[in-house]
């Protein structure tokens, strides 16, 4: 198959899991004030085919605005005395680099917890509504994520970035709802560009979400969110003793896989029909900003706070690579989780992957723009004179 120049490289078998019209979008978890602010920001310019979603989100937002103060009142004392947890472990890396795989492996260790899809969907009232809603509406969630073969569900590990966006924090994920009328560059990715009051809101919401999570589960939190790759300095300042596990992957695979990710999310989550004309520039700009911030901030970390792993090495020997991560980050207790990791590694051997045919134009552009990353982590451009395939999982 010939690659599309506008998409970088198209999967050799391009397909997305169907996302039913009645399945929840993340915006269904916003309270009314946050939702109306998002609508105003884009002049309410939803595509006619998505007006039904606008209506259901507005109704859900009204429910959330009632449920949140009820939850706050019901759990007031427990929230005021939220358990102190160990500093978080942050899993960082660009989208489609393997952060989800690392997250799932870390969740095999019973000493750790992480936010679930429902907790990120309804951060303001999950303490009150989680059991009832996830039980009553288990049928409403698709079995797979729209962009790959990874299982989905209310109780699956999820990115805390969605919780922050639903709480009204500045977030690049707001663009996902209105991709056509959003800027072509990421917003609130590198927090250094935020006004002080906006940064304070972001920090306050993250602390509040983690305190609420600790009321539900006081174990050490493991947070996975690609945007946090650009926020390492801020997060290390907020949580002294935090650890960062950074996963990297062949950028010549990351680019087309990220293009596919955003196309699938725009199909399933957006309130505008996006033709994708600006998507290629956005993916390049987000990577540039993310790793400029990461390289700036990594120098501020103490020894033992950051460990890096290549996705390709992780796939080859997950147990050995995770043993190294536990050792370098001082997590301890690896011998207790090793059997579970070995069993998971065995099950990964049959994972079905996406395949990409390289586009010579995009290969050249990635090689030019992302040269420092390529050199640092030892990657090489693919041979564009012959068909090539690459595995994809994030």
pLDDT tens-place string over residues 311-361: 999 999 999 999 999 999 999 999 999 999 999 999 887 665 566 788 999
Q: Where are the beta strands (DSSP E) in 14-166?
A: 89-92, 112-113
User: At residue 276, does pLDDT exceed 80?
Assistant: yes
* Cα 286 to Cα 261: distance, rounded to the nearest angstrom: 14
| CA dihedral for 152, 157, 162, 166, sign (positive or negative) | positive
pLDDT value at residue 58: 97
Question: In terms of DSSP H, where are the helices of 217-333?
Answer: 232-238, 251-269, 279-298, 311-316, 318-329
Q: Which fold has domain 26-377?
A: Rossmann fold (3.40.50)
- Residue whose token pair is 């260790």: 109
Reduce the DSSP state of residue 75 to 3 states and report it.
coil
- Residue 135 confidence class, pLDDT cut points 50, 70, 90: confident
Is 258:283 a contact under the CB 8 Å cutoff? yes
pLDDT tens-place string over residues 12-37: 444 445 566 668 899 999 999 999 99
pLDDT value at residue 20: 66
Mean pLDDT, rounded, of the chain: 89
pTM above 0.85, yes or no: yes
pLDDT value at residue 347: 86
pLDDT tens-place string over residues 211-245: 999 999 999 999 999 999 999 999 999 999 999 99
**How many other CB atoms sit within 10 Å of the CB of residue 290?**
25
With CA atoms as reference, report the closest residue to 211 among 238, 189, 230, 190. 238
Proportion of the chain above pLDDT 70, given as a percent: 87
Domain map of the chain by residue range?
Answer: 26-377
Helix (H) or strand (E) holding 220: strand 220-224
User: At residue 11, does pLDDT exceed 50?
Assistant: no
Classify residue 335 by burial, with Cβ atoms within 10 Å: 0-12, 13-18, 19+.
exposed
pLDDT value at residue 15: 43
Reduce the DSSP state of residue 132 to 3 states and report it.
helix
pLDDT tens-place string over residues 192-205: 989 999 999 999 99
pLDDT value at residue 353: 59
First-to-last C-alpha distance (Å) of the chain:
23
Is 100:153 a contact under the CB 8 Å cutoff? no
| CA dihedral for 103, 104, 105, 106, sign (positive or negative) | positive
Higher local confidence (pLDDT), 4 or 65: 65
Tally of helices (H runs) and strands (E runs) in the chain: 16, 5
Classify residue 150 by burial, with Cβ atoms within 10 Å: 0-12, 13-18, 19+.
middle
pLDDT value at residue 59: 96
User: At residue 63, does pLDDT exceed 50?
Assistant: yes
Q: What is the DSSP letter of 144?
A: B
* Cα 130 to Cα 75: distance, rounded to the nearest angstrom: 14
pLDDT value at residue 12: 41
* Cα 22 to Cα 25: distance, rounded to the nearest angstrom: 9
User: At residue 300, does pLDDT exceed 90?
Assistant: yes
User: At residue 152, does pLDDT exceed 70?
Assistant: no
């Amino acid at each position: 198959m010939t690659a599309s120049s506008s998409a970088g490289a198209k999967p050799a078998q391009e397909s997305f899991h169907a996302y039913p019209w009645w399945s929840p979008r993340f915006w269904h978890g916003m309270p009314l004030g946050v939702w109306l602010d998002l609508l105003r920001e884009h002049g309410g310019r939803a595509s006619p085919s998505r007006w039904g979603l606008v209506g259901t989100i507005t109704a859900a937002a009204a429910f959330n605005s009632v449920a949140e103060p009820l939850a706050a009142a019901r759990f007031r004392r427990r929230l005021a005395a939220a358990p102190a947890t160990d500093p978080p472990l942050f899993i960082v890396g660009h989208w489609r680099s393997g952060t989800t795989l690392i997250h799932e492996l870390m969740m095999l260790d019973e000493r750790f917890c992480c936010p679930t899809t429902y907790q990120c969907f309804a951060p303001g009232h999950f303490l009150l509504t989680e059991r009832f809603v996830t039980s009553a509406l288990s049928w409403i969630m698709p079995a797979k994520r729209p962009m790959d073969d990874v299982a989905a569900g209310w109780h699956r590990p999820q990115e805390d970035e969605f919780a922050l966006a639903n709480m009204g924090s500045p977030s690049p994920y707001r663009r996902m709802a209105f991709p056509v009328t959003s800027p072509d560059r990421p917003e609130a990715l590198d927090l250094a560009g935020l006004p002080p009051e906006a940064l304070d809101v972001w920090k306050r919401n993250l602390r509040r979400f983690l305190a609420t999570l600790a009321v539900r589960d006081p174990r050490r939190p493991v947070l996975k969110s690609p945007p946090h790759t650009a926020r390492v300095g801020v997060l290390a300042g907020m949580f002294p003793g935090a650890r960062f596990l950074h996963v990297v992957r062949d950028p010549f695979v990351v680019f087309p896989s990220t293009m596919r990710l955003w196309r699938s999310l725009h199909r399933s989550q957006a309130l505008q029909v996006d033709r994708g004309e600006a998507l290629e520039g956005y993916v390049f700009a987000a990577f540039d900003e993310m790793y400029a911030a990461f390289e700036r901030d990594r120098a501020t970390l103490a020894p033992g706070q950051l460990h890096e792993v290549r996705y390709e090495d992780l796939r080859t020997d997950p147990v050995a690579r995770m043993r190294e991560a536990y050792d370098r980050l001082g997590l301890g207790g690896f011998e207790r989780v090793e059997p579970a990791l070995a069993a998971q590694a065995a099950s990964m051997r049959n994972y079905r992957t996406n395949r990409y045919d390289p586009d010579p134009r995009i290969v050249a552009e990635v090689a030019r723009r992302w040269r420092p990353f390529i050199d640092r982590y030892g990657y090489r451009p693919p041979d564009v004179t012959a068909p090539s395939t690459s595995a994809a999982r994030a």
